[in-house]
Structures are given as C-alpha cells and as structure tokens.
Amino acid sequence: MNGAVNIVITGLGLALPGVETAGDLLGRPDPSAAPVDPAARLGKKGLRYKDRATQLALCAAADALREAALPEQDGPDVAVVVSSNLGNVDTVCRVIRTLDEETSRGLSPMDTPSLSSNVIASELAIRFGLRGPNLTVCSGETAGLDAVRWALTLLRAGRAGAVLVVGVEPDNDDVRALTGAPRLVDGGAALVLETGESAQRRGVRALAAPHHYVRTDDPAPALRAVAGEPGLTLRAETTDPGWGAMSGALGVVQCATAVGWFAGGHREPVHALAGGAGLVLTATP
Amino acid sequence: MSWAITGVGAVASIGRDTDEVFSALLAGRDGLRPQRGFDQTNLNASQLFEIDDRAGGPDRPCRATGFLLDAVAEAVSDAGLTDLTGVPVLVGTGLRELRSVELWARGAAELTTDQLHFGTALRERFGATDTHTFANACSASLYALALGTDLLEQEATDTVVVAGVDSITETMFGLSDRVQLRPPAAVRPFDDGRMGTILGEGAAAVVLRRDTAPRAPLGRVRAVAVNCDAYHSTAPDPDGVRAAIVAAHRLAGVKPDDIGLVVAHGTGTPLNDHVEAAVTREIFAGVATQPLFAAIKSMTGHTSGAAGLLNLIVALRSMTGGQVPPITGLTDPIVEVRGFPLPSAGPLPCEATVAQVHAFGFGGINAVAIVEVGA
C-alpha cells in the first residue's frame, strides 16, 4: 500500500500549552504553561458557540494552512480529516443536565452542531472553505495515526489535492471523569498533506514524508520489519511531557514531533506508535 | 472498476434482519411507536422509530454496539466468512455510543473510553483488528463505503466490511424536540405536508470483495463520491449536493440515462427534501425515461449513520426482486418530484439495473453511491 505515491507534509500548526514550534516538542515543554487562548490567536469573531475542541482545532489548522500556502478561503479539492474521541463529550453532558433541569424547552439550538461528533471537521470546512471529503475519525488511541492513514488513502485515490489533518482533545471535568485521567492535553496539532509532485509544483517545502502505516497488536517490530531501524521512536509516554491523556491528538502530535526532529537536522526516520497503530516518517530531500 | 457485494445485513425498528426489514418496507409497515428509552416528562414529542430490545426494562448502555454486531454478523455469514482477522472493518456512525455517555453522565451506567468506539466489540466478536469508527453524521455509512472501495483499489486486501449504525441519543431527540415545536405525527418524505423528521435506530453492513469468488455477488458498487458543502453547520447547499451526484456519475462511468432507480435521503424536513429533489430533478432533466424515485424514512425514521447503507441495501433488493417499496405518507408530492415515477400508492415494479443512492449529513457532508446488479 505504501510505496506508489510519494506523499509529504507541507504545513504544520500547533495548539499546545507551552509550545511555539515543532522543535519545542523535542525538548521538555512546560506542561503547566497557560492554556491555548483561541480568541488571542484568531480573534473573537466566529468563535461564539463553538466548543473548546473546535476552537483549538481552528487555531492549529489556520497555521498549518498558512504554512502550506493554501488559499485562506477556497479549497475545492482540500479534504479534512479530524481525529478526536472526546471533543463533544462536554456538550453532550451539559445538554443532558439541562434536559433534566429544564426539559427540552431549556435547550439551545446553538448546541445542535456540537451534539453531532463531526462538528470539528465541518466547522473547519466552513471556516476555511474546504469542500473536499470531510471525515471524522473516533477510533480510540489509534485515531491520530489512523487520520494520517486515511489522508494518505484519500490522496492516493485522487479524492483530494491536499488534506488537512487535525488531532485534538479538550480538557474539562467531564472528559477527566470519563477517562479517569487527571487532565487531558487541551490542544492538538494540524498537518497539511499532499503529493510530493504537488508540493514541488506549488513551490512549498516538504517537512517530512509519512508512509508505512500498520495496524497490529505490536506495531513496533512490524514497522522495523518493513522500514528498518528508527532514529527516534515516539510512544504515548515519550510524546507527552505531562499534558495528560492525549487520546485522538496523540498520533498527529507525534507527526508534528517528527517534523521538529527533521527540522533540527536529523535524517534518521521516526517511528510513531499509538495503541495498535504505527507510522514511519522520513526526512525529505 | 467495481466491487462485489457478497453479503448484506440490516437491523431497524421494522425488522431484525435484511429479509424482515425489506418485506416490512414492501408491505408499507412503519416502526413509529411511543418512545421507550427516555423520561417523557422532559420531552414534548413522544414518538420514535426505536428498535424494541429493552423488553420493557430501563435503558442500558451499548445498544448501538449490539445493533452493529447483529448487522455485521448477518453480512459476514451471508458472505460465507467466519472470522475477520486481517479484514478491515469500517463503521460509519452519527452518534457513536453517545447514548452510553448520557447514561454514564447520569450515573446510570458504567462506561470506559474504549467502548466509545466500535473497535473493541468488533475485536471481541469477530477477531477484527483493523477497525475504524467514523463519526460522519447522516452520510457516515456511505462515507465509510467510499473509503472501503479505496482500500480494495489500493491495498493488499481482498475483502472489506463496511457498516453503519446509530441508536438515538436523548440530547439529539431533545434538541429536535426543541426546534420542532409541533412534533411531526409522521415522517413524510417529499410530501407538501411534511413537518420534519423523526429519529430512528438501525444498523446495516455489507461485505465488499475485489473479486466474486467463491460465490456470485448480490450486486456491485460502481463508485461512491464524497464531498463537503463548506456552507452551513446544519443546512444543505444545492451546489454541494449537485457536485456529489455529478462526481458519482463520473467515477462510476455512468450517465443519468443509465440510472433506473434513485433511493433518496428524504428525511421529511422541509429543507433537505426541497434541495435534494430540486437538484435530482435538474440532474435527470434531459433523460428519456425518468428513474424510479424511492425513499424509506417514513417507515424506518431517520437512522442517521445507518441510513446510507440501508438505502443501498434497499436499492439492491429492489433491483434483484423487481419491486421498489412504497413511500408511505406521500399523498401530495412536492412539485420537484412530480416528474419521477413515485411509488406513492404502493410498491412499483422495478426493472432498473443501476441505482443511485443518496446520504447527506449535518455539516454539509454528502455521499452518493452508484450500485448495479447483474443484468
């Protein structure tokens, strides 16, 4: 599945506490840094009634699209693939409490979009005018790397000229209680993927090349068998400096970390491992 | 290129397997009943198309997972498979296990995060490891089908299972109750008197193969087109719907003249049905013989993530069985559909061999499939 078309990352956006650049991900970012402030990054316009996960996704996506030099408001063949397992859990919990306290008459129609789990991907499409396939992956801990896999699939199928991939999870009392984690990452990352040929034609820089996605009980040896020894192996515990559970953000933040690794001059490949999913990222010429 | 469908499975309020569901549809039987899952004191509307599996007891978590397993088991057995080790399983859903989250939030059920997606249960039951849960609103199962065909085209897999599922959440029912101030008494797709949609529960599954061995296919998927309006978080956009239909024809290598049957999304909401019908009429404006135009949601309710694949199975059964189910409740068709042969008085004979299947979702995510049966 992997060799035929060369696909590269050409845009990266981060919405993580204490992180400015991909290189910061390789140090030890301060997990107690201030939470990401979407209004400060994007302006308040258009954020009202958007849930926290959607706001964080918009922050990361804006930077990734800008770096990839895609038009601000017009993407007829740009697809969106979002990974988030917990993004709308807070809305569902809040609306069920309102229903119990005030009956359906107390509900706000403004909550309707966020009750559907595809809200992040559809709001990204609306804000940035992205009219390609629009997909939300909620497959658990593997979801972030799965999202990259489906982006590769969409590009190889010719269903899109570029794909915006976003992995994001919010932090709030409801998701802490549900996951049992003391806190969650409250952020995420965004990537733009396209073919190497498209990047060259558009004159944008390739930051890394993802390939060899595997899904198996033990992806580490499977990756080594197909792609050789890595220079850096990223697991959940080596990706998170103390933000807390990363869930659907994990795999996409790992790809961002790989971009930082190559930006720092390393050439050896990175193996990203999230649950039963694995992905190889290599440096681009 | 096209892909063989070697097994199908379906569960809905009107039947617990594909035969039961399709014969109920042909008979015009609907599954609309007083709702059984929720506290009525919080709600004005009182009717839903639920699957009656609570035996009068209290609501319980993971019912959607149960519907999914039933539909997949039927499809897998129909295809002559036993276990799914190494077979990708792609599940489209609107509301995942969010009903279980609601019960958990009230302290009425235990829930772990690995029960929020369907991979855990698919692994326990069928040994499947390459499992994917896509939350793609009401077009989710046809979106999953599109990706399933891409896997067959690109990868070293000969078989893919694609499914769709939804159970009703109290929050979505509550919001629909909030915005539909007069609860619709029925779902009446494409009728002038339609008052809105009513949610339904269901699951559907298909087994897709690169080749037909070892058994003859039930039909073939020619192509599935997917896109996004990028227009509004809940309202449809005719341009996006039109682009999806045109792309499906192009990918499938068919012209409007080749299509003998359209199985519409037809939710019974004023806006969806108007936009869908107007665009479909325009697409078929120049053809000599207008295609049959069918819709099932007056009988199944709006089954969201299951809806697209349920429509697809209805298209296959209608073509192989030679009869398309009626659109019950359609007494006064809107002007946009009056040019199509409409099964409004009862089932109509169906000689089509190529069908067009619609599924459109919140966020303007559109999916259109072209399927065919052997002549």
| pLDDT tens column, B142-189 | 999 999 999 999 976 899 999 999 999 999 999 999 998 899 999 999
Cβ of A135 within 8 Å of Cβ of B136? The answer is: yes
Indicate the CATH number for domain B3-209.
3.40.47.10
**H-only helix segments in B226-357:** 238-252, 270-283, 297-300, 307-321
Distance from CA of A284 to the nearest CA of B (A): 23
**A104, A118, A132 ranked by CB distance to B43: nearest:** A104
B167 touches chain A (CB under 8 A): no
**H-only helix segments in B215-269:** 238-252
Is-contact A17 A34, C-beta < 8 A?
A: yes
- Residue in the structure block whose two tokens are 């992956």: A137
Q: Which of B202, B364, B185 is nearest to B296 (CA)?
A: B202
Q: In this predicted model, what pLDDT tens digit does every residue of B252-292 receive, in sequence order?
A: 999 999 999 999 999 999 999 999 999 999 999 999 999 99
B48 touches chain A (CB under 8 A): no
Cβ of B96 within 8 Å of Cβ of A138? The answer is: yes
Q: Best of A134, A152, A218 to disrupt the B interface by mutation (most B CBs within 10 Å)? A: A134
Q: How many other C-beta atoms lie within 10 A of the C-beta of residue B182? A: 9
Residue B212 has pLDDT above 70, yes or no: no
| Chain centre distance of CA B147 | 16
Distance from CA of B177 to the nearest CA of A (A): 7
**A75, A137, A154 ranked by CB distance to B132: nearest:** A137
Contacts within 8 Å (CB) and 24+ apart, B40-43: B41/A103, B42/A99, B42/A100, B42/A103, B42/A104, B42/B170, B42/B174, B43/A103, B43/A104, B43/B173, B43/B174, B43/B177
Residue A274's SS3 state is strand
CA dist., res. B78 & res. B5, Å (int): 10
Report the pLDDT averaged over residues A271-285: 96
A97 touches chain B (CB under 8 A): yes
Residue of chain B with shortest Cα separation from A50: B233
Residues of A within 8 A of B120 (CB-CB) are: 140
Residue of chain B with shortest Cα separation from A114: B233
* Distance separating the N- and C-terminal Cα atoms of chain B: 17
B137 touches chain A (CB under 8 A): yes
Of the pLDDT bands very low, low, confident and very high (cuts 50, 70, 90), residue B216 is confident
Of the pLDDT bands very low, low, confident and very high (cuts 50, 70, 90), residue B213 is low
CA distances from A61 to A16, A53, A207 (A): 13, 12, 16
Residue B122 has pLDDT above 90, yes or no: yes
B280 touches chain A (CB under 8 A): no
Residues of A within 8 A of B119 (CB-CB) are: 139-140
**B98, B117, B171 ranked by CB distance to A140: nearest:** B117
B116 touches chain A (CB under 8 A): yes
Q: Which of residues 9-68 of A touch B (CB under 8 A)?
A: none
Residue A1 has pLDDT above 50, yes or no: no
CA dist., res. A76 & res. B239, Å (int): 12
Q: What is the pLDDT of residue B363?
A: 87
Q: In this predicted model, what pLDDT tens digit does every residue of A79-89 receive, in sequence order?
A: 999 999 999 99
CA dist., res. B94 & res. A251, Å (int): 23
Instruction: State the DSSP H helix or E strand holding residue B26, giving kind and residue range, or none if neither.
Output: helix B18-27
Residues of B within 8 A of A93 (CB-CB) are: 101-102, 105
Cβ of A104 within 8 Å of Cβ of B177? The answer is: yes
Report the pLDDT averaged over residues B47-58: 92
Class of residue A34 by CB neighbours under 10 A (exposed 0-12, middle 13-18, buried 19+): exposed
The domains found in chain A, sorted by start residue, are 7-282 (3.40.47.10)
CA distances from A35 to A32, A52, A53, A203, B361 (A): 8, 11, 13, 34, 33
**A100, A107, A157 ranked by CB distance to B175: nearest:** A107
CA distances from B292 to A3, A6, A276, B141, B308 (A): 44, 44, 46, 23, 18
Mean pLDDT computed over every residue of chain B:
96
Q: What is the pLDDT of residue A174?
A: 98
Residues of A within 8 A of B96 (CB-CB) are: 117, 138
**B98, B129, B178 ranked by CB distance to A92: nearest:** B98
Q: In this predicted model, what pLDDT tens digit does every residue of A157-201 receive, in sequence order?
A: 999 999 999 999 999 999 999 999 999 999 999 999 999 999 999
Q: Which of residues 211-230 of A touch B (CB under 8 A)?
A: 215-217
* Distance separating the N- and C-terminal Cα atoms of chain A: 22
Q: What is the pLDDT of residue A205?
A: 97
CA dist., res. A195 & res. A96, Å (int): 44
Report the pLDDT averaged over residues A9-38: 94
DSSP result, B107-159? TSS---GGGSSSHHHHHHHH---SEEEEE-GGGHHHHHHHHHHHHHHHSS-SE
Q: Has the ipTM of the complex gone over 0.85?
A: yes
Q: Which of residues 167-206 of A touch B (CB under 8 A)?
A: 174, 178-179
Q: Where are the domains of chain B?
A: 3-209, 219-372
Q: Which of A97, A86, A26, A6 is nearest to A53 (CA)?
A: A86
**B132, B136, B361 ranked by CB distance to A146: nearest:** B132
Q: What is the pLDDT of residue B367?
A: 98
Is-contact A213 A272, C-beta < 8 A?
A: no
Residues of A within 8 A of B172 (CB-CB) are: 115-116
Distance from CA of B141 to the nearest CA of A (A): 11
- Residue in the structure block whose two tokens are 């008052």: B195
Beta bridge partners of A123: none
Topology alike, domains B3-209 and B219-372: yes
CA dist., res. A169 & res. A26, Å (int): 21
B166 touches chain A (CB under 8 A): no
Q: How many other C-beta atoms lie within 10 A of the C-beta of residue A87? A: 32
Tell me the Cα Rg of chain A: 18
Residue A3 has pLDDT above 60, yes or no: no
**A85, A93, A135 ranked by CB distance to B134: nearest:** A135
Is-contact A161 A107, C-beta < 8 A?
A: no
Q: What is the pLDDT of residue A127?
A: 95
CA dist., res. A18 & res. B54, Å (int): 49
Cβ of A122 within 8 Å of Cβ of B95? The answer is: no
Residues of A within 8 A of B364 (CB-CB) are: 122, 125-126
Q: In this predicted model, what pLDDT tens digit does every residue of B8-44 receive, in sequence order?
A: 999 999 999 999 999 999 999 999 999 999 999 999 9
Cβ of B178 within 8 Å of Cβ of A109? The answer is: yes
Homologous superfamily, domain B219-372: Thiolase/Chalcone synthase (3.40.47.10)
Is-contact B98 B135, C-beta < 8 A?
A: no
Residue A280 CB contacts under 8 Å (≥ 6 apart), including other chains = A210, A211, A212, A223, A226, A227, A230, A269, A270, A271, A272
B323 touches chain A (CB under 8 A): no
Of the pLDDT bands very low, low, confident and very high (cuts 50, 70, 90), residue A2 is very low
Report the pLDDT averaged over residues A224-245: 93
Q: What is the pLDDT of residue B215?
A: 66
Report the pLDDT averaged over residues A10-36: 94
Q: In this predicted model, what pLDDT tens digit does every residue of B317-337 receive, in sequence order?
A: 999 999 999 999 999 999 999
